[in-house]
Structures are given as C-alpha cells and as structure tokens.
C-alpha cells in the first residue's frame, strides 16, 4: 500500500485476484453487450422503435376499450403512414383525421369490419426536411384514439 502500512502477503494476493476477476468480468460484459446490441437493434430492439425494415411502429389504448396502432416507413422518397383502430366490434363508423407536422393531411370516416372489428387508414406523405411528426385521431361515440409517430 502507498500509505506506508504493510499488507500481509495472503491479503495482497486476494486483492489482486479480486481486481483481475473484476477486470475479466467487466471485459466479458462489454463484449456481450457489443455483440447483443446490433442484434437487438436489427430486430426492433432499438430505442427509436424501428424494426429491421426501418419502420417505426407505435401502439396504445384509446379512451374506451379500443386499441390503436400507427406505423411509418419510407416508400419511394415519401413516407407511408398506416393507422389502425381495433375495437373488436364490427359496424362502428369512426371519424378520423391525420395530421402531418401539425397540418391536416387527410380526414374521413371508416367503419370497423371483419372478425377483429377494425379499420385501417393508409396515406403517403411528402418527406419534409428533418423529422416528420404524424398524429392520427379517431373518434366514435365519445371514445377517442390518439396515435402519434415521428419519422
């Protein structure tokens, strides 16, 4: 030790062994992290929500029992945005609005169909400079779905 005290040899060996073990463990964890990081990101594990096709997908709950999903991806220099509402009830007529960077890009109505009682809206938008923000809002009898995605 540097303070002038004497350390018994068996304790000095123990401290050196612990240091070596700590260094080896740190190196192993760093190596595993480096190997697992790219694999996780390429399978949708990245923090930005992108999957291996460079899509961004978000999901959530509406104010009632319905669920929403919104996806954005590049498509021939434009951005394809798909929005879906799943209420598990067929025949519901929903009003919806899609906003792109705050401006109304499209609006309409859609009726839930199929066994899942859902509808989907798909639009292609101009890819502006920087990050584009999309907000999809759908309403039915007081229930509201509010989905957003940045791409």
Sequence ranges of the domains in the chain: 1-47, 56-150
d(CA 21, CA 31): 15
Q: pLDDT tens, position by position, for the chain (151 residues)? A: 444 545 455 444 444 444 444 444 444 334 333 333 332 222 233 445 545 568 999 999 999 999 999 999 999 999 999 999 999 999 999 999 999 999 999 999 999 999 999 999 999 999 989 999 999 999 999 999 999 999 9
Burial of 98 (0-12, 13-18, 19+ CB in 10 A): buried
Angle CA 31–36–39, to nearest 5: 145
Q: What is the pLDDT of residue 30?
A: 40
pTM: 0.66
Q: Of all residues in the chain, what percent are helix, strand and coil, respectively (each to 5)?
A: 25, 45, 30
Structure tokens at 4: 């002038």
User: Which bin fits 49, alpha (ψ -120 to 50), beta or left (φ > 0)?
Assistant: left
Q: How far is CA 53 from the centre of its chain?
A: 13
Phi first, then psi, for residue 144 (nearest 5°) are: -125, 135
Per CATH, domain 56-150 is 2.40.50.140: no
Q: What is the pLDDT of residue 54?
A: 86
């Amino acid at each position: 030790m540097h303070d002038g005290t004497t350390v018994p040899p068996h304790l000095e060996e123990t401290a050196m062994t612990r240091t070596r073990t700590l260094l080896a463990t740190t190196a192993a964890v760093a190596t595993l992290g480096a190997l697992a990081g790219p694999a996780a990101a390429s399978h949708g594990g990245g923090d930005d929500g992108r999957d291996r096709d460079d899509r961004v997908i978000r999901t959530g709950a509406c104010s009632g029992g319905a669920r929403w999903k919104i996806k954005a991806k590049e498509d021939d220099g434009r951005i394809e945005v798909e929005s879906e509402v799943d209420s598990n009830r067929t025949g519901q007529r929903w009003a919806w609005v899609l906003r792109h960077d705050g401006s109304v890009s499209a609006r309409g109505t859609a009726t839930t169909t199929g066994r899942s009682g859902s509808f989907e809206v798909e639009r292609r938008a101009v890819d502006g400079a920087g990050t584009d923000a999309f907000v999809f809002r759908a309403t039915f009898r007081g229930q509201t779905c509010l989905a957003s995605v940045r791409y």
